[in-house]
Amino acid sequence: MDVSEELGSNGLRCRPGDLAKIVFSTDPLLLGRIVLVEAWGRHGRWDVTLMGEPTFGLEFGTLRPLITNKTSFRDSSLQPLNSFRHSTADNLVLLDSPVRLVIGSALR
């Protein structure tokens, strides 16, 4: 599929609620990690939550060190996983399937 065919009407590949794979990062340890796309951030990047273990990084703007699951990425750095769609705060829905994966409060 051509990249232009993957773009939404706003020119972005990802949408809030999508699961996506990190395909470009200055931190090679983040390549291939899965994220939950939350919202379009104030720095022209998607605010995302890393699935699984947190990562070490530097805070945007202040460059203070931090360990977090929250970060941000450019749209071009993420590849949406079209077979998954986030539906509520605690559920992931596998599209075209009756299977429902539960995350969040069920795992706490």
Give the Cα-Cα-Cα angle 68, 27, 38 (nearest 5 degrees).
45
pTM: 0.68
- With cut-offs at 50, 70 and 90, classify the pLDDT of residue 105: very low
Q: What is the DSSP letter of 57?
A: E
Q: Are 83 and 93 in contact (CB under 8 A)?
A: no
Q: Residue 83: pLDDT band by 50, 70, 90 thresholds?
A: low
- Give me the amino acid identity at 1: M
Alpha-carbon span 37 to 104, nearest angstrom: 15
Q: Tell me the pLDDT band of 47, cut-offs 50, 70 and 90.
A: very high
Burial of 10 (C-beta count, 10 Å sphere; 0-12/13-18/19+):
exposed
pLDDT for res 66: 93
- Is 60 exceeded by the pLDDT of residue 51? yes
